[in-house]
Chain A
Amino acid sequence: MGENITSSDAHGPILLETRKLTKLFPPVVANDAIDFEIRKGEIHCLLGENGAGKTTLAECLFGFYIPDQGEILWKGEKAKLSSPSEAMKIGIGMVHQHFMLVDTHTVLENILLGRDTPGLLLDEKAARKRITELCEQYSVNLDPDALIWQLSVGEQQWVEILKALYEGVELLILDEPTAVLTPQESERLFSILKSMSREGLSIIFITHKLNEVMQVSDRVTVLRKGKKVDTVTTWEISKADLARMMVGRDVVFRVKREEIERGRSILEIHDVQTYNDLGLLSVHGVNLTVHEGEILGVAGVAGNGQKELFEALIGVREVRKGEIFLKGEVISGKSAGYIRSKGVAHIPGDRIKEGLVMDFTIAENMILGYEWNKPFRIGLQLNNKSIRSFAEESMSSYDIAAPSIDHITGNLSGGNLQKVVLAREIGSAPAVIIANQPCRGLDVGVIEYVHNQFLKLRGEGVGILLFSEDLEEILTLSDRIAVIFQGEILEVIDTDKAVLQKIGLLMAGVKETQDA
């Protein structure tokens, strides 16, 4: 990381500018009178928490949303951007968080897809040549004839970027591009972006990660709750100052993890295999042991079998081979209800789909799965009194921001939704918690809160198995780190002895072979 080389002339001419840009999603003001500018050849970060309005602003620049007020100037002239194709036409490209590629088509076909080509026939030969040139220019290895589904996520992202470059864009917008990458892939992306900006491309880089801002940008605009806080030159500001601007208060970057004795083994996974939804073997014989009072982190890039293993552990996915023991009792092959009743709580990766009923009230969601248990039931009926008091207590102890426990859950923000899940699962006094990406998409402040809750439970002797794609999180919380790659645990490392570089390589499937 070290020095920040301002890679381009920060005083280049202004390429794009917004004046008092406002976008409403009643009752929310997503962008409130935002003045923003990006110069030619500049990498400009848009920093902010989730819901700060970063993506909305970008989608306005990309013509996906039409601002309610304010104006957008392109090279000093008013631009009317009423659709993405118009934005592409004047030279603005965007790579979304979720790629818009056709899996069964080749790289070449995807790049040519949907282009206004003169004449009827695609000039494949010329296109192939141009793509090869672009790849060479930035020294990227990519076969134009490879099918998208054969590519890694990092390569798919490169296809998206190529698509924009092929159009000859002058401004490239990247929405949280590193979310799906390993640390090494991110590094590589940064260096490519820098060389692009040196050649005059302007880049808007959306992120909520401070390290990335420091590493890649020339300037940074911080948004908070739809308003612009400030635009600053990156090398003139510290990470702590940026964090304060983003959150509006001081932030502790790492929660403290106290040394505690590891207890008896509580959850044992023996040689477990499962299929994924396509019927392919996606977990190949995983062995892991979680102890009481231990957080075992499973690090890995998305799609390496974490989801399937998680689902097998909680009883919603068939265990094809192997066994899972809870306190010595076999729980593989048992129903999800049985496993839950034995004290295994879980925090699913997708809280909206898998963890909550959005149409229910907060109080109702607080007992999901526990509605037949005492004290929430007396005889045939739900015990409203105890449900309500449990919900009220959880609301206040977890600091859930909602008008009341009778509020419909669907109206809550992501952080508050996750708090409802946490309150419920932790409230069930579990022996084991299995969590899949518990902090995905949460604000810094909420993440800190969730981490503290996990450490508190660890102190109480609960065994925690934490799946996360965020290496920072794994390093912060875990006692031991297991790295998963293509459905196998490559290695389990004590966090104290962990080397970031090594974990990154393991996540990419590289076991130490050459130099130690």
Chain B
Amino acid sequence: MLKALGLEVVKARQLHPVIQILLVLIAIILAFALSGWFINLTGGNPVEAFTVMFKGAFGDRRKILETLLRSSPLILTALATVITFRAQIWSIGQEGQLFSGAMLAYLAYRIFEPALDRPVLLAVIVIGGFLGGALLGLLSGWMKAKFNVDIIISTVLLNYIISTMLLFLLYDHKYWMGKTTYYPRTDAVIESSWFPILTHDTRLHMGFLIAIGLALVIYWLLKRTPYGYDIRALGANPVATKFKGIGISQLIMVTMFLSGGLAGLAGAGEVFGVHHNLSMEISPGYGYTGIIIAMVAELNPIIVLLVGVLFGGLINGSTVLIAATGIHSSITFVIQALILISVLVSRSLMKYRLRRVAHVD
């Protein structure tokens, strides 16, 4: 068809980075425009909706800090995605690892809470959160290395297994169900286990600083260490990696361990920083949103920070949406999906261009 129009598709030369960033921004704007059209179709007023969302997310200092609070678990699950996807290990287990991190952190709290001082208790909770996710990740990595079980399959299935296990524990007074409640949630954790608040008048807790710190660590890890080098090599050419004798099984297990740990920290942060109890509500799909963020950020840990804040703002801004405009907050999922699609499409389109074919006659 193109040939008939005298055109052909050829590979484009590498675009200037500034132009690339501009094009991605245009793609994001386009995603919002499409979402606006969608809102319009459902009878809402897009301008009003976006205004409410923007004000809700970035309207004043407290709202901005609340947005940062929302973005903390997203950044962590996105970083978990970055290191696996960079190695082309397609882990979808961030949601399950978030829950298992929350669970082991809570278990550690139950065991050690009476015995320990606050700083030590906090450290134990953080380590528990990390290990909870990490061990679950390691399980998938080990199954891949040992039995060649597909990572996608094992991580997705483990997501279900973990959340079902949690539900089981939360639905029985014998186990974790709170004494004072008939909802599937634990009693509130005592205040000395709460993650320290960064400013006295908001909920923003130390988890945000951990997320930023870890983004920098992951950046350094990928760029400056032999381990990160191996991850990038495996992702870019697994055959050459194998031929050069880089231990792929070990690499996959270590990476899945770290990735799981990052997602697990997100879970611990939600329990001990935000909700102060453990329930299924600690994550409205943060694990999956993290994957979207990592993809939009082109698997770059620094850009993950920016995209994470944008998505945190979307979630935060949508909380008041239904009250203010009558539009359900699930519109954020539509926006997220459209952003992902348009950014991915724009990235593919950047690689090609149309060229006029001179005719031979």
Contacts and interface: CB of A to CB of B under 8 A. Distances in A.
A354 B226 contact: no
Given A356-B237, A357-B237, A368-B233, A316 B243 contact: yes
Given A357-B233, A382-B224, A72 B244 contact: no
A356 B243 CA distance: 10
B247 A335 contact: yes
A314 B244 CA distance: 9
B123 to A, nearest CB: 22
A382 B243 contact: no
B243 A337 contact: no
B13 interface: yes
Interface in B223-262: 224-226, 229-230, 232-233, 236-237, 239-247
B243 A346 contact: yes
Contacts of B358: 67-69
B111 interface: no
B41 interface: no
A82 interface: yes
A407 to B, nearest CB: 12
A120 interface: no
Contacts of B233: 357, 360, 368
B1 interface: no
A369 to B, nearest CB: 3
A340 interface: yes
B226 A348 contact: no
A358 B241 CA distance: 12
B360 interface: yes
A380 B225 contact: yes
A371 interface: yes
A26 interface: yes
B146 interface: no
Contact of B243 (A70, A338, A348, A360): A348
Contacts of A25: 10
Contact of B360 (A71, A314, A354, A382): A71
A249 interface: no
A368 B240 contact: yes
Contacts of B224: 381-382, 384
Nearest to A337: B245
A96 interface: no
B226 A67 contact: no
28 contacts: A67-B360, A68-B357, A69-B358, A71-B360, A71-B361, A78-B361, A80-B360, A314-B245, A316-B242, A316-B243, A335-B247, A336-B242, A337-B247, A348-B243, A353-B237, A354-B239, A355-B240, A355-B243, A357-B241, A358-B236, A358-B237, A360-B236, A369-B245, A369-B246, A371-B226, A371-B229, A371-B230, A384-B224
Interface of B: 3, 8, 10, 13, 224-226, 229-230, 232-233, 236-237, 239-247, 357-358, 360-361
Given A353-B239, A356-B240, A360-B232, 8 more contacts: A67-B358, A336-B245, A337-B246, A340-B244, A354-B243, A357-B233, A357-B240, A359-B236
